[in-house]
Chain A
């Protein structure tokens, strides 16, 4: 199967005072198109850093990240913005909706960036809001929506332009358990129905039970990948020792 994302020995170091902090340490990963993948690990393990690097929001200190065979580290800022606009949808922990826009206007925003005709925009926005079950809340501003509804609007915004990859950084962190499960179920359904690739980070074990593949990080290293035979073998050998 074709790999949508290839992460090859990627490290990310940040300067802190007069030293460096390694947020990600020679991580390697391959993500196939249509996967539903969770990146797990405790706080500070490098989950958000990894998602930021996959999402071209930041550049790796070393190593390569390829999306559809494009080395994102070599892209100029304008080209990286175009890649994000075309191929990636983002869901953030704090929803990050534009507060002065209604739900449907928020969902419409990525399509405005694509300069799509208005009729097509309307159709896609209606579809996206229907797919997250918020057609009746389309004209509401974010401050009139519950946390779960806001995050569903964010999901609709992330998928409306039919990206190859949806990245969600702790999408359930600000939601109660029931709403969090509903959101994960929604993302799972969109993954199955639309064939979208979802990569999300979480440290909530209850949500990890609902995913196909889990990549665990600790201190910036990939310590477990439930889909990676090499990592599994390495873990067996470590346990054997």
Chain B
């Protein structure tokens, strides 16, 4: 067995230039997969964390009715005793904070012009403590202790209303009872989310201000922030049975269940990655099959000699597959090393890609080195090379001995 491996190993390096070219092609494919996959992983990670940090949180707790029927009026399906539920959730391990939110909508006016807004009411101190602070491009974030009705508005909405921090606006909304109500607000800051559609409609005020506007003590939901996203499942499993004891039937949702945009992006880019994997697969198959076929033709007389000496044909198949596997292992090692090295260089380069469609900020070109991706890419080339070696291996094993010995 040792000699057999030695023979295969030496055969791999018999034509060093050709082996080097094959290694370059295959390792290039592996490195390319790692870089693209690593960049996609970074994008997924960035999108996941920004989705969570932009206010989605890791878990959200709702009144169970929220998912069963639509509301006739705002907060009809809101949470009543949210302080009790908050204290239950707050006690679980890995929980950084729990904050209440009210989601509402209405009209915003500067006296001369009106527009639609999508509002969110928050507890500023808790939001800040949980890292849900939005990117304030002008002015300052909300102050939970302020006496007036402070508000943050999206950059597009601010432009539309022609306001800047310090200016006043009026909000109009339908209350929980179905009546029309209005409050005056002071714009304290302009925020940007990175998405134009959001920036054109976004409004954030404090919970007391929203409760005054909507005439209700309820909240839409509770948002739970964790120390790490990876702990989501564990905390979900820990909180779920405890919430069963609360007076109100509640439903708890993980961030992934609520992040439909994230899931769509991930599905799209995973499809692109699979497509790239298929291209690399064919690239490796074609180049390595060509190399192995040439090696087979060059060694025809030698193969004939081995067969003449009584070498079982299965040994020859095994020899060629082993040579391909050795090439695959070397290519995988070189490819992973190149992918990690180039990835590290890219991460240090500080390159920023142009903003994607619908986004207002550029995207950093960074790569996450994932062990699973490295193992997957290495396994892909190993399997691919083994498959590519089968045809020359079988052809070598089926050579007619007399013709092979006479091969020039």
Chain A positions within 8 Å of B, measured between CB atoms, are 52, 55, 57-58, 77-78, 81-86, 88, 90, 92, 94, 96, 98-101, 105, 108-110, 112-113, 157
Which chain B residues lie closer than 8 Å to A86 at the CB level? Answer: 310
Chain A residues closer than 8 Å to B179, beta-carbon distance:
none
The prevalent SS among residues of B at the interface is helix
**Quick one: CB contact mask for B292-336 with A, threshold 8 Å, 1 for yes?**
000000000110111111111100000000000000000000000
Bound form: Cα–Cα A98–B310 in Å: 15
B92 CB to closest chain A CB (Å) equals 63
**Residues of chain A with a CB closer than 8 A to B7's CB:** 98, 100-101
B301 near A94 (CB under 8 angstroms)? Answer: yes
1/0 contact trace for B1-36 toward A, CB 8 Å? 001101100110010000000000000000000000
> Do B302 and A98 have beta carbons less than 8 Å apart?
yes
Known pairs A57-B405, A98-B302; A84 contacts B312 (CB<8 A): no
How many angstroms between the C-alpha atoms of A164 and B308 in the bound complex? 15
Size class of the contact patch on chain B: 20 to 34
Complex A-B, nearest 7 residue pairs according to Cβ-Cβ distance, in ascending order: A85-B310, A100-B10, A96-B305, A84-B310, A57-B401, A81-B310, A58-B402
Contact of B309 among A77, A78, A99, A110 (CB under 8 A): A110
In the assembly, what is the distance between CA of A241 and CA of B128, in Å?
Answer: 122
B302 adjacent to A113 (CB under 8 Å): no
Question: Which residue of A has the minimal Cβ distance to B304?
Answer: A96
Instruction: Give B156 Cβ to nearest chain A Cβ, in Å.
Output: 70
Complex contacts, B405 vs chain A, CB 8 Å: 57, 92, 96
Report yes or no: B301 in contact with A96, Cβ–Cβ below 8 A: yes
Residues of A near B302 (CB, < 8 A) are: 96, 98-99
A57 near B309: Cβ-Cβ < 8 Å: no
Q: How far is the CA of A98 from the CA of B311 in the complex (A)?
A: 13
Show 5 A/B contacts (Cβ-Cβ < 8 Å), sorted by A. Answer: A58-B402, A81-B307, A85-B310, A96-B405, A113-B312
Complex: A108 Cα to B2 Cα, angstroms? 13
Are the C-beta atoms of A84 and B14 separated by less than 8 Å?
A: no
For B14, give its contact among A52, A77, A100, A110 (CB under 8 Å). A100
Residues of A within 8 A of B4 (CB): 112
**Contact call B3/A57, Cβ cutoff below 8 A:** no
- State the CA gap A90–B405 with chains docked (Å): 12
Instruction: From known contacts A96-B301, A100-B7, infer whether A57 and B310 are also in contact, taking CB-CB under 8 Å.
Output: no
Given contacts A81-B310, A90-B308, A96-B301, 5 further A-B contacts (CB under 8 A): A81-B313, A83-B310, A98-B302, A101-B7, A110-B309
User: Bound state CA distance, A8 and B121, in angstroms?
Assistant: 105
CB pair B14–A99 under 8 Å, yes or no, is yes
Q: With a CB–CB cut-off of 8 A, which chain A residues contact B301?
A: 94, 96
